[in-house]
Amino acid sequence: MEDYGAKTTSIPLLDSATPVGGTASRLQTLANIIVSIVGTGVLGLPFAFRIAGWLAGSIGVMLAGLASYYCMLLMVKCRDKLASEEGEEEGESPNRTTYGDLGYQSMGTTGRFIAESLIFISQCGGSVAYLVFIGQNLSSVFKGHLTFSSYILLLVPIEIGLSWIRSLSSLAPFSIFADICNLLAMAIVVKEDIEQALKGQFSFKERTAITSNVGGLPFAGGMAVFCFEGFGMTLALQGSMRDKTTFPKLLAQAFTGITLLYVLFGFFGYMAYGDETKDIVTLNLPRNWWALAVQVLDSPTLIL
């Protein structure tokens, strides 16, 4: 690794008040991993399966999950190597190595700027998209009470308040609650998918396994990659653990479960609606209390 001269001072991913050894347990870290990865992208998976075919879609999701897992581990290994080298030279804490530090060691000051800028843009873009999605959900559920923009304005101080919680172990209860809401919402959608398939003119042979439209494969692949969020939290999650040596195994368990859940969610959604599958699968749901429950459950998931 090249040396680009004198080291510069950087802002750590977590506040200096965060204990160096980390305080988060395996369960707390698992909850934080799941809530950082699973987002609104999962609602578009059935449509991606429609574009690519159920077999190609399943393979694409598994490859995206495997690639995401590998890249997240690679970042941790790079951080650990850099931290150990700096620790030997200057006695620095491994937890104070940032994305910018990794970029600096790779490409100098330009690398630091690119890494920190991309993290900032991705987090801001994702936050804005989530606020819009939640605002649309709440305004459609509670019609006539407040406007769409009013709901967003009410959400902003909540998000700012949550951002002041600097310890990931303290955020774990919120993550567990969000994970439960997410699982319930996905379970309701799958239930509606199965009911629709059973009562409709369902034929497995009519569902495409691998599309002949090669141009649609990049879109489906991009959707699969989009479903695996959380890269911006990788270093913070590993650094927050009490026993950091268990992080690779815990991350593998989380990715295995999430990938399997994604494949089943996309498969059942496409099987239920076929060529009528819409870009957001909730648009296929009948306008009943179950669909309303999905909208309500999705909101706290994204807020937290």
Q: What is the pLDDT of residues 13-69, one digit of tens each?
A: 444 444 445 788 899 899 999 988 887 788 889 999 999 999 999 999 999 999 999
- Whether 266 is in a domain gets the answer yes
Q: What is the pLDDT of residues 153-180, one digit of tens each?
A: 888 888 888 878 777 777 888 888 888 8
More confident residue, 2 or 193: 193
Predicted confidence (pLDDT) at residue 235 exceeds the cutoff of 80: yes
Predicted confidence (pLDDT) at residue 90 exceeds the cutoff of 60: no
Predicted confidence (pLDDT) at residue 212 exceeds the cutoff of 90: no
**Which residues constitute the domain of residue 147?**
34-96+137-303
More confident residue, 188 or 172: 188
More confident residue, 57 or 119: 57
**CA-to-CA distance for 230 and 237, rounded, in angstroms?**
10
Provide the 3-class DSSP secondary structure of residue 65. Answer: helix
**CA-to-CA distance for 63 and 145, rounded, in angstroms?**
44
More confident residue, 180 or 141: 180
What six digits make up the tokens of 282? 């909730």
Task: Look up tokens 């590998």; give the residue.
Answer: 70
From the list 209, 214, 186, the residue with the least C-alpha distance to 271 is 209
pLDDT for 13: 43
More confident residue, 22 or 191: 191
Using an 8 Å Cβ cutoff, are 9 and 226 in contact?
no
| Range with lowest mean pLDDT among 14-23, 77-86, 200-209, 276-285 | 14-23
- Whether 76 is in a domain gets the answer yes
Q: What is the pLDDT of residues 245-300, one digit of tens each?
A: 899 999 999 999 999 999 999 999 999 998 889 888 888 888 888 888 888 888 77
Instruction: Write the CB contacts of 167 (distance below 8 Å, at least 6 apart in sequence).
Output: 14, 18, 23, 240
Predicted confidence (pLDDT) at residue 6 exceeds the cutoff of 60: no
More confident residue, 192 or 91: 192
What is the identity of the amino acid at 157? P
Question: Which H or E run includes 299?
Answer: helix 289-303
- Taking residues 190-218, report their average pLDDT: 84
Using an 8 Å Cβ cutoff, are 294 and 188 in contact?
yes
More confident residue, 270 or 3: 270
- Whether 171 is in a domain gets the answer yes
What six digits make up the tokens of 224? 């699969």
**Count of domains forming the chain:** 1
pLDDT for 86: 67
- Whether 9 is in a domain gets the answer no
- Whether 201 is in a domain gets the answer yes
Provide φ and ψ at 24, rounded to 5°: -75, 135
User: How crowded is residue 304: how many other Cβ atoms within 10 Å of its Cβ?
Assistant: 19
pLDDT for 283: 82
Q: Counting beta carbons within 10 angstroms of the beta carbon of residue 151, is it exposed (0 to 12), middle (13 to 18) or buried (19 or more)? A: buried
Q: What is the pLDDT of residues 223-234, one digit of tens each?
A: 888 888 777 788
Q: What is the mean pLDDT of the chain?
A: 82
Provide φ and ψ at 93, rounded to 5°: -80, 135
Predicted confidence (pLDDT) at residue 134 exceeds the cutoff of 50: yes
**CA-to-CA distance for 293 and 298, rounded, in angstroms?**
8
Q: Where are the alpha helices (DSSP H) in 91-211?
A: 99-107, 109-141, 148-163, 168-199
Residue 290: alpha-carbon gap to chain centroid:
24
